[in-house]
C-alpha cells in the first residue's frame, strides 16, 4: 500500500514535520511504502501561474497513493498557504474516494480549526476524511540531542497510532 504524507509547514524541523516523522515511524514496512513531501521544499508556483516538475510530482504521488495524510501548522486559525496552494493544484483525480487523515500543530492553545477547514476542502474533492485526527501543541514536544522536535507524550503517540491504523484499514476497504 502506498501512503503519501503532505506537510505544509514553512519551516524545516518543525512540530508538523515531527508528527509526520512519528507517523512514518509507526507505519509498518515493507508492506506499506511512505512518501513524505515537505511542500516547502517543492517548486510550486501559485495555482494558475504555470506548472513545474514538482507540481507534476505532487499530482503523480497523490494519484498513486492509496491513502493520504495531511499535516499543517495552525496559522491564524487556519491551515498554511503552502498547503492551500498545493491542494489547489490537486483535484478529484487525486482524491476521489481516497481515505485521508489530518493533523495540525498549534503553538499555544490546542485548536482543531485548521482540521475542520481541511475536512471541507477534502470533501469538496471527494476524499474521505477519517474521523480520527490529531491536534498538537508545542507542549507535546521536546528537542532531541540534535535540536529537532520529538513527541514526548505516550498517550499522544498512541492516538497517532490509532489514527494511522484507522487510515490503513479504510484504505484496504477501498482497494478490495
Q: What is the mean pLDDT of each run of 10 residues along the chain (176 residues)?
A: 97 96 94 96 96 97 98 96 98 96 93 97 98 96 96 96 98 91
Q: Judging by DSSP bridges, how do beta strands 149-151 and 99-106 pair with one another? A: unpaired
- Give the whole-angstrom CA distance, residue 157 versus residue 143: 16
The verdict on pTM exceeding 0.95 is yes
pLDDT at 108: 84
pLDDT at 121: 98
Q: Which fold has domain 2-175?
A: Rossmann fold (3.40.50)
Q: How far is CA 99 from CA 37, 70, 78, 95, in A?
A: 17, 11, 22, 8
What are the φ/ψ torsions at residue 98 (nearest 5 degrees)?
Answer: -105, 135
Q: How many CB atoms lie within 10 A of CB 72?
A: 25
Domain segments of the chain as ranges? 2-175
Amino acid at each position: 500500500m502506498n501512503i503519501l504524507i503532505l506537510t505544509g509547514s514553512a519551516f524545516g524541523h518543525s512540530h508538523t514535520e515531527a508528527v509526520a516523522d512519528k507517523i512514518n515511524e509507526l507505519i509498518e514496512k515493507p508492506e506499506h511504502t511512505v512518501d513524505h513531501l515537505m511542500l516547502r521544499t517543492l517548486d510550486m508556483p501559485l495555482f494558475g501561474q504555470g506548472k513545474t516538475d514538482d507540481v507534476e510530482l505532487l499530482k503523480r504521488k497523490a494519484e498513486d497513493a492509496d491513502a493520504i495524510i495531511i499535516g499543517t501548522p495552525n496559522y491564524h486559525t487556519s491551515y498554511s498557504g503552502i498547503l492551500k496552494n498545493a491542494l489547489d493544484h490537486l483535484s478529484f483525480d487525486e482524491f476521489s474516494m481516497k481515505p485521508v487523515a489530518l493533523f495540525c500543530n498549534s503553538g499555544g492553545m490546542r485548536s482543531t480549526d485548521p482540521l475542520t477547514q481541511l475536512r471541507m476542502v477534502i470533501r469538496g474533492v471527494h476524499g474521505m476524511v477519517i474521523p480520527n485526527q490529531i491536534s498538537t501543541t508545542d507542549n507535546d514536544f521536546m528537542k532531541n540531542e540534535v535540536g529537532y522536535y520529538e513527541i514526548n507524550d505516550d498517550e499522544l503517540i498512541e492516538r497517532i497510532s490509532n489514527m494511522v491504523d484507522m487510515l490503513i484499514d479504510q484504505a484496504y476497504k477501498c482497494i478490495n
